[in-house]
Homo-oligomer: A and B are copies of this chain.
């Protein structure tokens, strides 16, 4: 079963809002966001290799990873965890090395639906242009792909 992903990107505001439910308990869904090995199995485009450089999913921790395409292209990402509250909340920053100093901040709220889990993510971009650029470059496809892979990780 694949649940729908609801993505909202209202015109004129630098926000992206995402709601997705999973058919798995909240502790498993949350752990797939904070365990480096599990996280690496579903994050980033499926056709790219993913190398997590470091990943310390605690309040005040930092993370960085590199995606590589078959042609040798490298895409670096890094951020800091402002808040990691078990089975409840992850607030983190996000920066793509190709757009230095353009930092977005995401707040992911995890809700226990009784054996099922809802994740609600509110992302704030530094400018309208940064938000619109992210939407234009296949963000929706990437989110759906990631969450489909996350479902596979949870099923295993």
Most buried by B among A83, A104, A125: A83
Please report which residues of chain A, range 3-46, place their CB below 8 angstroms from some CB of chain B when the two chains form the complex. 12-15
A89 to chain B, nearest CB (A): 6
Alpha-carbon gap, A128 to B126, bound state (A): 14
Q: Is the CB of B107 within 8 A of A83?
A: no
Q: Is the CB of A82 within 8 A of B83?
A: no
A119 to chain B, nearest CB (A): 15
Interface residue A101 (Cβ < 8 Å from any Cβ of B): yes
Q: Is the CB of A82 within 8 A of B89?
A: no
Please name all residues of chain B whose beta carbon is closer than 8 Å to the beta carbon of A15 when the two chains form the complex. 14
Contact with B along A95-117 (1 / 0, CB 8 A): 10000010111010000000000
